[in-house]
Amino acid sequence: MTVPRYTPLAQSLPATVPFVGPETQERQRGAPFIARIGANESVFGPSPRAIEAMQRAAGEIWMYGDPENYELRHALAAYHGVAPENIVVGEGIDGLLGYLVRLLVGHGDAVVTSDGAYPTFNYHVAGFGGDLHKIPYRDDHEDPEALFAKAAEVNAKLVYLANPDNPMGTWHSGADIVAAMEALPEGCVLVLDEAYVECAPEGTAAPVAADDPRVIRMRTFSKVYGMAGARVGYAIGAPGLISAFNKVRNHFGMNRAAQAGALAALEDSDWLAQVQDQIAEARDRIARIARSNGLEPLPSATNFVAIDCGHDGVFAKAVLDSLVEQGVFVRMPFAAPQNRCIRVSCGGEAEIVAFEAALPKALASTRAV
Amino acid sequence: MTVPRYTPLAQSLPATVPFVGPETQERQRGAPFIARIGANESVFGPSPRAIEAMQRAAGEIWMYGDPENYELRHALAAYHGVAPENIVVGEGIDGLLGYLVRLLVGHGDAVVTSDGAYPTFNYHVAGFGGDLHKIPYRDDHEDPEALFAKAAEVNAKLVYLANPDNPMGTWHSGADIVAAMEALPEGCVLVLDEAYVECAPEGTAAPVAADDPRVIRMRTFSKVYGMAGARVGYAIGAPGLISAFNKVRNHFGMNRAAQAGALAALEDSDWLAQVQDQIAEARDRIARIARSNGLEPLPSATNFVAIDCGHDGVFAKAVLDSLVEQGVFVRMPFAAPQNRCIRVSCGGEAEIVAFEAALPKALASTRAV
């Protein structure tokens, strides 16, 4: 008998991880990045009020955070015009996706996503033994109709759709998503990941009734709110599903300073508006840089731009490798045909300048091979 | 067909939570506590260097934390004289216990713990469908021999032992634990929760070889290091089991400021020593207060004192309720016969004074009923 005796599922899981962190790459290359624009973090940072709240809370970090996330949940409910019972707060969308999958997906249960969409969702589905069905992107967009049709075909318990999409940055109108939801099969929950919706055009957020049992929406303070390192995400859904999280979540899992920071960030709408402007400007600059190098930027409703490098995944990977080598941390889509692109997060002046300098060299060295 | 279709396991889980937080009680009573000494938090707070590190990191919270926890893991390895491969960092011991149970325990798998030991462990075992066997305390101590004998009897995959114990504060010598481990059945992992070991007498930490596959030790920055709200725990174990956490953990789950704070806390041994002294002094004062009220304090190797109220659980609960009503947050053991006690965390001057004033009234009102 070996020790430990893992569950058959745990034994079957690969040791792969969803993402290699930039710190790991920095250790490998032996130097820090000069531009950290690969993980769709917000270089514009959080509201100064959020920073101040977190710094103040550091002095009271000897106390556990409120396991009910009461104040933050109530503030979010007021912000969205829903009830506190419609909101669960968790350790980033990643943490919430894990809990959601755990609640719904067991061995062999069918789940549907797009081929090349968020790997951490796939990681959780595999981690609970689900059977994942992948639908191709259509014209670089996730394809709600095809996703929901596949969900009906395989009797899926859960279907994942990011709007706006990561890694392509494309989007659908929220109204179109809601219309497409009519085709969701009975007994299927749509997890609608709206991580980037705060920098998307008006009308992108799905106008879903908070108590609609067919859908749970994911939001985060990691992207436009600039607090990725704090680990604060939340989900909006029907009270039954929301309260089910209490059966499995890490009740004392939230960092107390992060709770305070998120609350302060939510209240600073001026800062949010300013970051939205900075993101829009940075997207335009990244797009211009792409075009001036003969590449095609995809339209984006996110805080990053996917840039079509005009060839296949091997070519794009070579461009990416050269950028990384030059100290510019960027990432790229995992699946074809999206992997003809590189994905560049919005940066400030320093990051944009570094990218602008590095891209021509990356293209030249790649084309020279 | 209902929506959502929970897994049979999720459907079977109760909606109960391991602990009600003090904030919830404050909301219920409509007033803040004057002494927060119920959750074994450290009112002495973290090292000022840890606070400073967290405040500094608040400004860079737009970045995800390093998913490998590289610096903290390496510092912990050096601190303990083990390899980095022996260490996994996670979102508090609670988070790590969840991952550990998930790796090992499936439907109907046998697990052993003490009756009245850490409820969050039981919560995780239930949450993954395990079959939990409970062994009585012996003379207010957890009983390693009986635990390991039961583990052999039921072919347990996992057995839980806290040393020092929570909620009683009692302890065994680490050497005795290691000796008792000889009786661990093959194929069984001991999870040895050493959350309080930094304020226990010399010799309490189990002198276990880091690569011993029979045991995984849990440590935390929540207790003596005074960082409960940061959510930083770690486990020390054999590389195989440690690396298995990478199959299921939330790789980007750590708060970046918490990582920096824990690293700084670990480096401030002077602060740790000072807190150890403060804890020892507070334990003595709480014990004296108990005795001067005719109650019997249990010896403690933790940052709290269990006080035997001399009657049954109903009596102790009435004492506790009165303390809470008077603004003194304390807790008590859940299971008989330990629930004849109340559990009082070490406080500073203000908390001790508040407890000293409230206890006689609590006893008088309870005895008057």
Closest CA to A133 of A108, A146, A150, A116: A150
pLDDT at site A3: 79
- DSSP E strands, chain B: 35-36, 87-90, 110-114, 131-135, 158-162, 189-193, 215-220, 233-236, 296-297, 304-308, 328-329, 341-345
How far, in Å, CA of B333 to CA of B341, rounded? 7
* Residue range B299-325: mean pLDDT, rounded: 98
pLDDT at site A26: 97
Q: What is the DSSP string of A119-180?
A: HHHHHHHHHTT-EEEEE--BTTB--HHHHHHHHHHHT-SEEEEESS-TTT-----HHHHHHH
pLDDT at site A102: 98
Closest CA to B76 of B215, B234, B208: B234
- pLDDT over 90 percentage in chain B: 97
Domain boundaries along the sequence of chain B: 8-45+270-368, 62-267
Closest CA to A198 of A244, A229, A234, A243: A234
pLDDT at site B175: 98
Of A62, A106, A231, the CB nearest to B229: A62
How high is the mean pLDDT of chain B? Answer: 97
User: Hey, of B105, B246, B247, B263, which one would you mutate to test binding to chain A, going by the most A CBs within 10 A of its CB?
Assistant: B247
* Run of H or E including B189: strand B189-193
* Run of H or E including B265: helix B256-267
Q: Tell me the per-residue pLDDT of A121-132, one tens digit each, with 9 for 90 and over.
A: 999 999 999 999
Q: In what order do the strands lie in the sheet with A233-236?
A: A87-90, A233-236, A215-220, A189-193, A158-162, A110-114, A131-135
Q: Min CA distance, A139 vs chain B (Å)?
A: 31
- Name every chain A residue with its beta carbon within 8 A of the beta carbon of B212: none
ipTM of the complex: 0.97
Q: Min CA distance, B283 vs chain A (Å)?
A: 18
Of B7, B51, B254, the CB nearest to A105: B7
Q: How many residues does chain B have?
A: 369
* Residue range A327-350: mean pLDDT, rounded: 98
Closest CA to A146 of A104, A115, A101: A115
pLDDT at site B23: 97
Q: Which residue of B has its CA nearest to A242?
A: B4
Cα atoms in the 13 Å half-sphere on the side-chain side of B250: 26
Residue B186: both structure tokens together: 């093959």
Q: Tell me the per-residue pLDDT of A240-265, one tens digit each, with 9 for 90 and over.
A: 999 999 999 999 999 999 999 999 99
How far, in Å, CA of A297 to CA of A316, rounded? 13
Give the angle subtended at the CA of B220 by the CAs of B217 and B224, to the nearest 5°.
Answer: 125
Q: Min CA distance, A368 vs chain B (Å)?
A: 35
Q: Tell me the per-residue pLDDT of B240-291, one tens digit each, with 9 for 90 and over.
A: 999 999 999 999 999 999 999 999 999 999 999 999 999 999 999 999 999 9
Residue B131: both structure tokens together: 């079959």
pLDDT at site A16: 75
Contact yes or no for B246/A15 (Cβ under 8 A): yes
pLDDT at site B15: 80
Q: Which residue of A has its CA nearest to B55?
A: A55
Residue B1: is its pLDDT beyond 80?
Answer: no
CA B252 to chain centre: 23
CATH of domain A8-45+270-368: 3.90.1150.10
Q: Min CA distance, A333 vs chain B (Å)?
A: 19
pLDDT at site A19: 83
Neighbours of B292 (CB within 10 A): 11
How far, in Å, CA of B19 to CA of A72, rounded? 19
- pLDDT over 90 percentage in chain A: 97
| Bond prior to A167 in cis (omega within 30° of 0) | yes
The CA-based dihedral angle spanning residues B53, B54, B60, B65, taken in that order and rounded to the nearest 10 degrees: 100
| Cβ pair A23:B66 closer than 8 A | yes
Classify residue A207 by its DSSP letter. -
Q: Determine the angle formed by the axes of helices B48-58 and A256-267, rounding to 10 degrees.
A: 30
How far, in Å, CA of B324 to CA of B327, rounded? 5
Fold classification of B62-267 (topology level): Aspartate Aminotransferase; domain 2 (3.40.640)
- Name every chain A residue with its beta carbon within 8 A of the beta carbon of B63: 36, 39, 41, 228-229
- pLDDT over 70 percentage in chain A: 99
Domain B62-267 in the same topology as domain B8-45+270-368: no
Contact yes or no for B231/B92 (Cβ under 8 A): yes
SS3 B192: strand
Determine how β-strand B215-220 pairs with β-strand B233-236: antiparallel
| Cβ pair B247:A127 closer than 8 A | yes
Cα atoms in the 13 Å half-sphere on the side-chain side of B164: 25
Give the angle subtended at the CA of B79 by the CAs of B50 and B88, to the nearest 5°.
Answer: 80
Neighbours of A140 (CB within 10 A): 20
CA B286 to chain centre: 20
How high is the mean pLDDT of chain A? Answer: 97
Fold classification of A48-268 (topology level): Aspartate Aminotransferase; domain 2 (3.40.640)
| Cβ pair B61:A51 closer than 8 A | yes
Of B15, B106, B228, the CB nearest to A64: B228
For B113, phi then psi, to 5°, come to -150, 180
From A2-11, B43-52, B310-319, the region with the lowest mean pLDDT: A2-11
Of B18, B63, B98, the CB nearest to A36: B63
Classify residue B229 by its DSSP letter. G
Rg of chain B, C-alpha, whole Å: 21
Of A10, A41, A231, the CB nearest to B255: A231
pLDDT at site A61: 98
| Cβ pair B62:A258 closer than 8 A | no
